Amino acid sequence: MTERGGPRRVRMRDVAVAAGVSASTVANVLSRPDIVAPETRLRVEQAIRRTGFVRSGPARQLRGLPSPIVGSVVLDLANPYFAALNRGVEDRLAEAGCLLLTASTDLRPEKEGQLLDLLQEQAVRGIVIAPIGSDRGALLAASRRGTPVVLVDEPRSGLDLCAAAVDDVLGGRLAAEHLLALGHRRIAYLGATVESGTVTRRRAGVRQAVADAGLDPDDTVVDLRMVLHPPALVDAAAGAVDHLLALRPAPTAVLCLNDTAALGVLRRLHALGRRVPEDVSVVGYDDLPFAALLSPPLTTVRQPTYALGRTAAGLLLDEARPDHTHRQVLFRPELMVRSSTAPPPGEPAADPPPPTARRERR
């Protein structure tokens, strides 16, 4: 349709005329199709396609209807883990006719606050967020103002919010127990100078496993922390290897905060002529698709990443129900034993893995 000055946007009343119904019937087809007779609904849908009508987001919200846009705030979209998690969020939202708007905080609290403000200004339907630090004041304030907030990859910790998370302490324990069973008594935990709660909780799980084995965590666990953004995670992890090998006594195993960091560690060890696992064992975290394809295939802790994202999105959509109550879904991680771990040099062959581990033959 055109008018003087150029094309004119097709309006709801244009669809109503084309379908031979009232504008209110068109509105019902768009927002509450279940109350419209099937024959009438089909006629309106055909008129929508014929006229090229596109709903106006602001007009929709003026009528009190929820926005179809959901915000996702994660730590780093360059990290394949968050890309997979976001895909789970996106696929579940698409089933409900919603669009995902995603941004990274790069572990910067000030950027997280800015993104939260911007998303609320856009009147999004809700926000799925992997938060930084322990201060949840801004998230609770957004929820009280009417923007639903769901924590992902982070437990609710008693907050009046929904959450989809993984038992990170257990994940750290599984990895450490595996290395201890192999005979390792000097284990490096590769984290970062600025960390999410997930990485901190995994470290706590590692130390718990060491203490439960009757060892001193301060003597057994070496705490290494990388500086990120810049450099990139793979490069930062590779750079940490030089410091790792200079320690005395040198760790015989390194447990990385994720698989991407483990990739950097493997590359650097190979460049220095160090053998994995004969000289140093390496453990990752997440079980990203490439982990089993590395040389050697990476022992790692598997997280149900895609399911985690889908669950978080489902919790957000559920917020629209009048009987909704906030709840948490907690997933259990799983140890995937591959070829990047072995007894330390000079130690006998290891016992079979415990029942909590899955061993993959390569």
Structural domains of the chain sorted by starting position, each given as residue range(s) with its CATH number in brackets:
2-62 (1.10.260.40), 69-167+306-332 (3.40.50.2300), 168-302+335-359 (3.40.50.2300)
Return the pLDDT at 3: 45
**DSSP characters for 52-99?**
T----HHHHHHTTPPPSEEEEEES-TTSHHHHHHHHHHHHHHHHTT-E
Identity of residue 295: S
Helix (H, G, I), strand (E, B) or coil at 351: coil
Is the pTM higher than 0.85? The answer reads no
Return the pLDDT at 53: 82
Q: How many C-alpha atoms does 4 have within 13 Å on its Cβ side?
A: 0
* Closest by Cα among 255, 196, 263, 209 to 233: 263
Cβ atoms 180, 188 nearer than 8 A: no
Q: How many C-alpha atoms does 332 have within 13 Å on its Cβ side?
A: 5
| 20, two tokens | 């031979």
Average pLDDT per consecutive 10 residues, the chain (362 residues; last block may be shorter): 56 90 88 85 91 68 70 93 96 93 92 94 93 88 92 93 97 98 97 88 97 96 86 89 92 96 96 96 96 96 97 95 93 98 80 56 43
Return the pLDDT at 231: 77
What is d(CA 222, CA 269) in angstroms, rounded to the nearest whole number?
A: 18
Give alpha helix (H) positions in the chain: 12-19, 23-31, 38-51, 57-62, 80-95, 109-121, 137-144, 168-182, 197-212, 217-220, 233-246, 259-271, 305-318
Q: Which residues pair with 256 in a beta bridge?
A: 190
Return the pLDDT at 361: 44
Instruction: Name the phi and psi angles at 25, rounded to 5.
Output: -65, -40
